[in-house]
Chains A and B, each alone.
Chain A
Amino acid sequence: MTEPDFDVIVVGAGVAGSVTALLLARRGLSVAVLERGESPGSKNLSGGILYSRVMEEIFQDFVSQAPVERRIDRNQVCFINQDSWVSLDYRDQRLLEAETAVSVLRGRLDPWLAEQAEAEGAMIMPGVRVDSLLREGDRVVGVKADEDELRARVVVAADGVNSFIARDAGLRERPPLNHLAVGIKALVTLPEATIADRFNLVGDSGAALALVGDCTQGIGGGGFLYTNRDSLSVGVVLRLDDLTERGVRAEDVFQHCLAHPMLAPYLEGGEVSEYGCHLVAEGGAAMRGAIVHDGLVLVGDAAGLTLNTGLTVRGMDLAAGSAIAAAAAIAAAIERDDTSAESLREYERLLGQSFVGRDMETYSKAPGFLETPRLYGDYGNFLADTLRGVFALDATPRQSMLGTARSALRRSPLRIRDVARDAFRAVRSL
């Protein structure tokens, strides 16, 4: 067998790739990270909330050291109708102190992560696209990039949601459309003080708004608005089964969302500085296939590790969590001098025990529940109609709250039976 060039080759310098590389280099292994972008981060895009507690396991004082935007202490969930909206606005000083969520821009975070990996001894090679896996028999022994062949004891596929490596290895079936969504996002620049005023923020505290309903014209998915230091990340996530069936244009839905009276005032006077999109795996646990093969391990988005729980949308924290499990398993496998699938399966076990595996399990019913069409129209209208009955005092006698809700329900396409079933499923799956 030809002597490998590196112990480990990591494909992709995103959160999963750079953290895996950093942890392996920290253990004294030789690691190369191949990144197809001009520089780390240049191909990467997130909505932008990072549930950052896991990063503290890797970096001391992550939140104060890393280039994060704002610490999120205000979470708002809004049902959006055409001319009305109903929102739950949760703000908590304890969230600020606990530092559990921060907004980030990948153009700043990812170069920093790659630098940290480099400081631990990993070699970062940008501008290199991996074309295919290099194999001996069924075993992965390296990668091919342009005319070059690079060999390693283990290849880590951290090449994102479209993972061509996972497809090449036969580990990924073509996902059904209801398991995928496209996120479309604009970065809107505004002065820091304006953002603080509009969202009622103090210092580096920040807000995360999750919108559902008319913001996507009823298409499964939702809208989002996150505050960065001097910009807003705003956009929509559209489930592809619904988008393809609905006959609308993705960009029109995006524009419709930004123009909604709930969002437009926040964006007023802003300048779009960037426009991007990204595919999101929404299938949850049901979508995940095999994540190890002889000489190969999948991490992060490439492993299908994203979670949409309706209230929180997670990917980067799961990417870091999978990197921790993968690095431990890979180092142990190399130490044993056995990097077969059987030996690397330790990664699956560690992942399953970690918060990543547990949360994927806990929320395994969420994707099914979130396909309920009533969530994207009927409920928002029902809530607004009920509240209208309470607040629109027009000198006619009022009904009790229950009576008001009952008559709103009678006018709505919602049936009591559906409401009861949805409530039960919501409690069980979210």
Chain B
Amino acid sequence: MKTLTTTELLARNRYVTDEEESHITVNQEAAKATGTAERLIRCCPADVYSWAADGTVAVEYAACLECGTCLAVADPGTLSWHYPRGGFGIQFREG
């Protein structure tokens, strides 16, 4: 089977994106100081987190699979993460 990039894998999914509101906020200073930033980037299976050119953590919240791994590996106070508003976000067809 052809190896797909994460972007290609995510493209197979159905999302209903909340254009008005992100459900993820990174506390940039604290995330970098504690090493949380690097953990978020490595552990998220959906590539939601990445280094932006200016050295901050960029958040592609629309790709989120809502597993909660980021919240589990983030030090307290570095990340605000909750579920998207009702009806928004990933909508698994197969599960």
Inter-chain contacts of B90 with A (CB < 8 A): 42-43, 276
Closest-CB distance, B24 to chain A (whole angstroms): 14
Closest-CB distance, B22 to chain A (whole angstroms): 15
Cross-chain contact A187 with B1 (CB below 8 angstroms): no
CA distance A251 to B42 in the complex (A): 8
B80 contacts A by Cβ under 8 Å: no
A290 contacts B by Cβ under 8 Å: no
Inter-chain contacts of A277 with B (CB < 8 A): 45-46, 65, 67, 69
CA distance A267 to B4 in the complex (A): 13
- Residue interface bits B29-60, CB-to-A below 8 A is 1, else 0: 00000000001001111110000000000000
A216 contacts B by Cβ under 8 Å: no
Closest-CB distance, B78 to chain A (whole angstroms): 13
Inter-chain contacts of A278 with B (CB < 8 A): 67
Known: A106-B95, A129-B85. A268 touches B72 (CB 8 A): no
Query: Which of A187, A248, A251: most chain B CB closer than 10 A?
Result: A251
Known: A44-B92, A186-B9, A275-B10. A248 touches B67 (CB 8 A): no
Cross-chain contact A182 with B13 (CB below 8 angstroms): no
Inter-chain contacts of A274 with B (CB < 8 A): 12-13, 92-95
Cross-chain contact A276 with B86 (CB below 8 angstroms): no
Cross-chain contact B94 with A38 (CB below 8 angstroms): no
CA distance A187 to B94 in the complex (A): 8
Inter-chain contacts of B71 with A (CB < 8 A): 162
B11 to chain A: closest residue by CB: A275
Cross-chain contact A276 with B95 (CB below 8 angstroms): yes
CA distance A139 to B10 in the complex (A): 42
Inter-chain contacts of B25 with A (CB < 8 A): none
Inter-chain contacts of A108 with B (CB < 8 A): 94-95
Residues of B1-33 whose CB lies within 8 A of A: 1, 3-4, 6, 9-10, 12-13, 16
CA distance A38 to B66 in the complex (A): 14
CA distance A45 to B86 in the complex (A): 18
Inter-chain contacts of B46 with A (CB < 8 A): 277
Known: A105-B94, A270-B1. A251 touches B86 (CB 8 A): no
Cross-chain contact A38 with B87 (CB below 8 angstroms): yes
A176 to chain B: closest residue by CB: B72
B95 to chain A: closest residue by CB: A106
Inter-chain contacts of A250 with B (CB < 8 A): 42-45, 69
Query: Which of B6, B39, B43, B69: most chain A CB closer than 10 A?
Result: B69
Inter-chain contacts of A262 with B (CB < 8 A): none
CA distance A259 to B4 in the complex (A): 11
A48 to chain B: closest residue by CB: B95
| Residue contacts A-B, CB under 8 angstroms, 6 given | A38-B91, A42-B95, A106-B95, A161-B68, A180-B69, A186-B9
